[in-house]
Amino acid sequence: MKSLYLQEILAVIGGTVIQGSGNPLIQNVVYRPKKMKDQTMLFYRYNDMKIDRKLFQKYKSVVVVTDNPDYFQDIGKDVMIIKVPNIEEAYWKFVNYYRHLFDIPIIGITGTCGKTTTKEMVKHILRKYYKVQSTFLSNNQRSLNLKYLLGIDDETQAAVFEMPVASPGYLANTIQYFQPQIRVLLNIDVYHLKDCKTPEAYMKAKAEIINGLDPKTGIIILNADDSNIKKVLDVSGFQQVIYFGFSDGCHFQAKDVRYVDGRMQFTLKHQDQTYEVFVPGYGKPNVYNALASIAAASSAGMSVEECCERLASFEQMKEHLQFRHGAGGCTIIDDTWNAAPLSMASALEVLQETSGSKTKIAILGYMPQLGESEFARQQYARIGEKVVETQVDYLFVVGDEAKEIGRKALELGMDPSNVYFCSSGTEIYQILKPFLNQDSVVLLKIPHRVMVQDSFQKLKRAIMP
């Protein structure tokens, strides 16, 4: 965090000192007492939160901002207390003020799938010249937004943030923190039905990507090939809209895509120029991620040629369509980082496209954020259709929630003797073991929260020794 003197902050939030004196240098801002340290300013936002008064005695130069000062009467005389008319308004005034202390390119990335990979690609490209602040791996939950924002300081030259949609309003809230001038929407499919309830509500929530974006100076980068984006997003009022994809007319268009030596190679067409692009990992999703990252990084000031060169040295993310040598000489496609309908369908396509004449085996688990509604069952059935479409030879379905995948595959004519419904890694391994040889490719697409269980950890060690 860029250190700020208290009086500077008070002028922004309209606070009044009712206990204590002085002008301490604030080096940390939080809204949860357990996260305090020396020189912390705490926005106390929840009246029902229990306060550990010993915690306030442990640290020096602690300042409490509250609209309910009576709650802090016995907190100790060494703690400064600041009263504001409305704590929510004061908090957001501070967030807005801090964000605008920095005139640097800030990129926000959302989409049903590919957010983390694209964010890491953009960060890798920009780090050639810039000190970059970013979200960490897939840790993008709303509770971390303030921490990530305060990670920007006077040395930061660019920032790139992954912005999820867990429920309506979630994306808008994240945008309120980071206020990115460059925004990327990778794709919109169906996910997070547990909180969004319906596919339509989820898709509409993704459209919050344009909230607060300046129509003249703001840059919105969109997947031109995604039909759902066109359904829910109206960008007619924006002057800087950039499209990427395979379609003719894209500002960043991929042509002549091919699989080569553990990576994708394609020709990028941009402004009547062509560039050869190499990106680690297989599959069309990786091409889309690469296109979006080049569009975003070039919008932040890098040349397109430099963006392409930097991508060639990008290291593929662990457990993201990661090809591994497996037991008995088989090939394992480890895609266990997360599981959503779009990523599962894409992984099945990669399995088909890379296996050739080898036996195709898919181990598919339940998708945690789909929930158990009729809409969720429709998505599992959709994956069952994809299993048959991609000509999977053997299907393993993990978890009761995902059984509709197998049921649909059977309904569409898949051989019942080649479909297995399993509940543990041990059960899977006993059935799978005879197939582990150089003539088989195994897609492992089970969510991380299942893979951490003991039997699945043993399965992973057994098939990827």
Residue linked to tokens 């996910």: 191
**Per-residue model confidence (pLDDT) at position 297:** 98
Q: Are 109 and 115 in contact (CB under 8 A)?
A: yes
CATH number of 102-313, picked from 3.40.1190.10, 3.30.1360.120, 3.40.309.10, 3.60.20.10: 3.40.1190.10
Specify whether the backbone of 116 is left (phi greater than 0), alpha (psi in -120 to 50) or beta: alpha
pLDDT of 48 strictly over 60: no
Q: Which region among 73-82, 372-381, 389-398, 432-441 has the lowest average model confidence (pLDDT)?
A: 73-82
Q: Quick check: do 102-313 and 322-463 share a fold?
A: no
Instruction: Name the CATH superfamily housing domain 322-463.
Output: Mur ligase, C-terminal domain (3.90.190.20)
Average pLDDT over residues 317-335: 94
pTM of the model: 0.92
Mean pLDDT to the nearest integer, 258-265: 89
Burial classification of residue 378, based on how many CB atoms lie within 10 Å of its CB (0-12 exposed, 13-18 middle, 19 or more buried): middle
> Which tokens hold the place of 349?
């396509």
Strand positions, DSSP E, 194-337: 219-223, 240-245, 252-260, 263-270, 273-280, 322-325, 331-334
Q: How confident is the model at residue 45 (pLDDT cuts 50, 70, 90)?
A: low
Provide the CB-side half-sphere exposure for 168 (13 A, CA): 9
Locate the domains of the chain by residue range. 4-96, 102-313, 322-463
Report whether CATH 3.40.1390.10 matches the domain 4-96.
Answer: yes
**pLDDT for res 74:** 78
Q: Which amino acid, residue 196? A: C
Number of CB atoms found within 10 A of residue 432's CB: 23
What confidence tier does 141 reach under pLDDT thresholds 50, 70, 90?
confident
> How far is CA 299 from each of CA 111, 217, 220, 294, rounded to the nearest angstrom?
19, 12, 10, 8
